Amino acid sequence: MHSNSKSLQRLDMQEQVFDQCHIINRLLISNQENKARQELIKLLDYHDNNDLAYNPLVNHLIRETGLFPYLEPETSNWEERFIYNAFKVDVGEEKPLTLHREQSFLLKSLLEGKNIAVSAPTSFGKSFVIDAYIKIKKPNNVLIIVPTLALTDETRRRLYKKFAHEYKIITTSDVELSDKNIFIFPQERAMNYINIVESFDIMIVDEFYKASSKFDKERSPSLIRAMIKLGAKSNQKYYLAPNITSLDSNPFTEDMEFIRLDFNTVYLEKHELYNQINNNEEKSSKLLEILSKNLEKSLIYAGTYSNIDSLTNLFLDTYEPIKNELLNMFADWLSENYDVNWSLTKLVSREIGIHNGRLHRSLSQIQVKLFEEENGIRNLISTSSIIEGVNTSAKNVIIWRNRKGIAKLDDFTYKNIIGRGGRMFKYFIGKIYILEQPPEDGQTQLDIPFPDEILGDLDEPKYESLLTKEQVAKLKLYNEEMSELIGVQVYEELKTESVFQSSNSDLIKTIAIDLTKNPDEWNGLYYLNEFKPENWDRLLYKIIKLQPGNWETGYKTFVEFIKIIAYNWSKSIPELLKELEDYDVGIDDFFKLERNVTYKFSALLQDLNSLQKRILRDKSYDITRFMTLCSQAFLPKVVFQLEEYGLPRMISKKMHKSKVIDFYDSELTIHKAIVTFNEMGKEKTIEQTKDLDNFDKYILDYFFDGIKITNVQQSI
């Protein structure tokens, strides 16, 4: 009887499948392919949930909608099997992978040598196209510009496994080149190679919409600067972005073909719950209800740091710590190495993580790794860093707040966030829960105006055609002023060498004016090279005042912070936090200010040093040593670089003390360290490093996974 009812149930399912296939077929006949594809993805989800094999009709519809990777060859007719194999390409993995129709179209265009700016959804699978291009075309120098260091490491991990046996994968500055190189950088770091690499076979810019000041006011000038200068050295260009409707005429993409591909591989099921919510209390209740009903992974978009704090309080008040050995180990590790009272320490024991773009890079990477573990973090609270930083996704995306910082979410960013719902082969359907009113559905035309900030970094005649009349006049005036301040020859040298870190020409002029008019105020600048932080005050104040309002704290606090983290290697983070208590700097401020020292402050020091060496030539000052220490948070250089690879400083310190690797060795580079690690292997490294706890070993497992090469022995 039981068997009979099961057969009836199966028959009923097959009837439902047939009915749905009929609907999808009608949509295809009436040229509604996108709608047909969405209905088909829902049908594939139904098969997945009920453990049903695809029948030949379902496979036929998969082929018709272009979703070739979803084909099941075993249950297909010969035509579908032929397509499944015909669209297979080598993407550097053990076996060739089948591309979907639009991926194949894009790859073909790139292999023909076209310059392409493409807009495609988050779930499109753009990275496979890059990997296939490298494998098939075998270019010598590939430049990939990404928006964040988190995405740098994610891209490095993917490409390292596939290509490190034939390419040198470069993510840091000052690396000796090989015959074949893949460079992966944020735009600021990419500029360090402008005079080192003769040409790039292809320049790839991921998230190129950030060249528009509308989407990234602070960093768009530096991206445009990189696109202009490095683009001039590139034989081919490939720019990627999501959700762009059209591309305005601009000098940066005028030689490129814009391709818009509205091709989704997952279906987004939207639940607009904001109509049922009248106040914050109801919103909190609704969020807790969603999380209690959905045990799969959830990304919670909070929008601002203060909203992350509100959600943290809600979760700590609602949930008790649970028995999860892995997460409890992580909580203990955070207590010991960071701060026992830190909210993240308490959240992780409740299966909750935080991704906000401020944490130490290795910490963010560990949390994303735990989020992707079946028994790891279940809910991840995030600012927009999750869409800018990493390519993670979840079954559920919850929009808690409809803002990005203080501004309301625009339609473009909103689509980018909800695009994190679902993942090919993992979640056919991404569930989107919207707790505040979303922006109106709209078109996004990408406008990329030429920013005034980078005018001073341009060669006047060469770029004049890109500028407005007003900008040409501004550029001429700027060049005259700078030539008068520091001399024509010196100014031309600086421009030719592209030495400036800042893309803000006015800041460069401000520094030049101060050095020229107040040379005596810079007396003793070399004291900064001496490791006597108590003597740094006057000069630190002088330097940070060149860029007022740039440090996210008061001058005194920032100066004291620099003096205290000068001991970053010899003291633990809990010890440093104890000293910083007098200046009201807690763990969250620690991350923010350390980031400002390593990025903004060290860049200012480098520009100051480049100018003062020429303007104050008689004094023979050079603060390269101090600038370098600031850029690596006063840690040994390779220790700081290894954090980008997912190895926290506290584990590196244990290795150094155990004499596993000497981080004081002036000859040591990041690539030599990776070779050493690979030669030793994970087990031997763990065995020889004293005082490692279980979570240290978990991190080392993740770290070694990111430096292994699949199938082939290392040759670089």
pLDDT in tens, 134-177: 999 999 999 999 988 888 888 999 999 999 999 999 998 878 89
Residues 6+ positions from 303 with CB-CB distance below 8 Å? 383, 384, 400, 401, 402, 403, 404, 405, 409
Nearest to 314 by CA among 255, 400, 392, 195: 400
Q: Is the pLDDT of residue 574 over 90?
A: yes
- Is 91 a domain residue? no
The verdict on 627 and 680 lying in the same domain is no
pLDDT confidence of residue 555: 95
The verdict on 338 and 407 lying in the same domain is yes
3-state secondary structure of 128: helix
Residue where a domain terminates, one of 403, 418, 445: 445
Interval 385-410: pLDDT, tens = 776 656 677 889 999 998 887 888 88
pLDDT confidence of residue 453: 80
Residue where a domain terminates, one of 445, 465, 493: 445
Q: To which H or E segment does residue 669 belong?
A: none
pLDDT confidence of residue 360: 86
The verdict on 283 and 362 lying in the same domain is yes
98-136 b/e (C-beta count within 10 Å ≥ 16 → b): bbbbbbbebbebbeeeebbbbbbbbbbbbbbbbbbbbbe
Q: Is the pLDDT of residue 460 over 70?
A: no
Contact 71, 80 (CB under 8 A): yes
In this prediction, residue 441 has a pLDDT band, given cuts at 50, 70 and 90, of: confident
Q: Is the pLDDT of residue 93 over 90?
A: no
305-337 b/e (C-beta count within 10 Å ≥ 16 → b): eebbebbbebbeeebeeeebebbebbbbbbebb
Domain CATH code at residue 136 = 3.40.50.300
Nearest to 146 by CA among 201, 84, 72, 226: 226
Question: How large a percentage of the chain has pLDDT more than 90?
Answer: 64
> Which tokens hold the place of 137?
């075309």
User: Residue 72, class by beta-carbon neighbours within 10 Å (0-12 exposed, 13-18 middle, 19+ buried)?
Assistant: middle
Residue holding tokens 């601009």?
250
The verdict on 679 and 536 lying in the same domain is no
Nearest to 208 by CA among 244, 254, 169, 173: 244
**Parent domain of 6:** 2-86
Q: Is the pLDDT of residue 713 over 50?
A: no
The verdict on 230 and 147 lying in the same domain is yes
The verdict on 300 and 422 lying in the same domain is yes
Q: Whole-model pTM?
A: 0.91
3-state secondary structure of 277: coil
Interval 194-218: pLDDT, tens = 888 999 999 999 998 998 888 888 8
In this prediction, residue 714 has a pLDDT band, given cuts at 50, 70 and 90, of: very low
Residues 6+ positions from 69 with CB-CB distance below 8 Å? 97, 98, 99, 100, 265, 424, 425
In this prediction, residue 669 has a pLDDT band, given cuts at 50, 70 and 90, of: very high
Dihedral Cα 594, 599, 600, 604, nearest 10 deg: 120
Residues 6+ positions from 497 with CB-CB distance below 8 Å? 195
pLDDT confidence of residue 522: 94
49-63, 242-256, 380-394 — which one is most confidently predicted on average? Answer: 49-63
> Which tokens hold the place of 168?
């040198």
Contact 439, 409 (CB under 8 A): yes
The verdict on 302 and 214 lying in the same domain is no
Q: To which H or E segment does residue 440 belong?
A: none
- Is 450 a domain residue? no
3-state secondary structure of 390: coil
pLDDT confidence of residue 7: 61
DSSP annotation of 234 reads B
pLDDT confidence of residue 206: 93
- Is 122 a domain residue? yes
Distance CA 295, CA 184 (A): 36
218-232, 355-369, 572-586 — which one is most confidently predicted on average? Answer: 572-586
Interval 318-365: pLDDT, tens = 999 999 999 999 999 999 999 999 999 999 999 999 988 788 888 988
Q: Is the pLDDT of residue 247 over 90?
A: no
How many other CB atoms are found less than 10 A from the CB of residue 647? 26
Distance CA 410, CA 389 (A): 19
DSSP annotation of 217 reads T
Distance CA 464, CA 304 (A): 41
pLDDT confidence of residue 592: 94
> Could you give the maximum distance between any two Cα atoms of the chain, in Å?
99
Number of domains in the chain: 5
How many other CB atoms are found less than 10 A from the CB of residue 18? 12
The verdict on 242 and 130 lying in the same domain is yes
In this structure, is the dihedral angle defined by the CA atoms of residues 488, 490, 494 and 497, taken in order, positive or negative? positive
- Is 63 a domain residue? yes
Distance CA 55, CA 170 (A): 47
How many other CB atoms are found less than 10 A from the CB of residue 183? 26
- Is 481 a domain residue? no
CA-based radius of gyration for the chain? 27
pLDDT confidence of residue 9: 65
The verdict on 669 and 626 lying in the same domain is no
Residue where a domain terminates, one of 573, 601, 631: 631
Q: Is the pLDDT of residue 269 over 70?
A: yes
In this structure, is the dihedral angle defined by the CA atoms of residues 86, 90, 96 and 100, taken in order, positive or negative? negative
Q: Is the pLDDT of residue 178 over 70?
A: yes
Q: Can you tell me the mean pLDDT for 561-569?
A: 98
Residues 6+ positions from 374 with CB-CB distance below 8 Å? none
Question: What is the overall mean pLDDT for the chain?
Answer: 90
Q: Can you tell me the mean pLDDT for 610-614?
A: 91
Q: Where are the beta strands (DSSP E) in 278-434?
A: 298-301, 352-355, 379-382, 396-399, 403-404, 407-408, 429-434
- Is 156 a domain residue? yes
The verdict on 594 and 617 lying in the same domain is yes
- Is 403 a domain residue? yes
Contact 393, 264 (CB under 8 A): no
Amino acid letter at 93?
E
Distance CA 556, CA 566 (A): 16
The verdict on 698 and 580 lying in the same domain is no
Q: Is the pLDDT of residue 121 over 80?
A: yes
pLDDT confidence of residue 3: 54
The verdict on 248 and 274 lying in the same domain is no
- Is 454 a domain residue? no
Q: Can you tell me the mean pLDDT for 577-594?
A: 96
Angle of CA points 158, 160, 164, to nearest 5°: 150
Residue holding tokens 């639009």?
102
In this structure, is the dihedral angle defined by the CA atoms of residues 31, 34, 40 and 46, taken in order, positive or negative? negative
pLDDT confidence of residue 715: 40
Amino acid letter at 85?
N
Q: Which of 76-85, 356-365, 602-611 has the lowest mean pLDDT?
A: 356-365
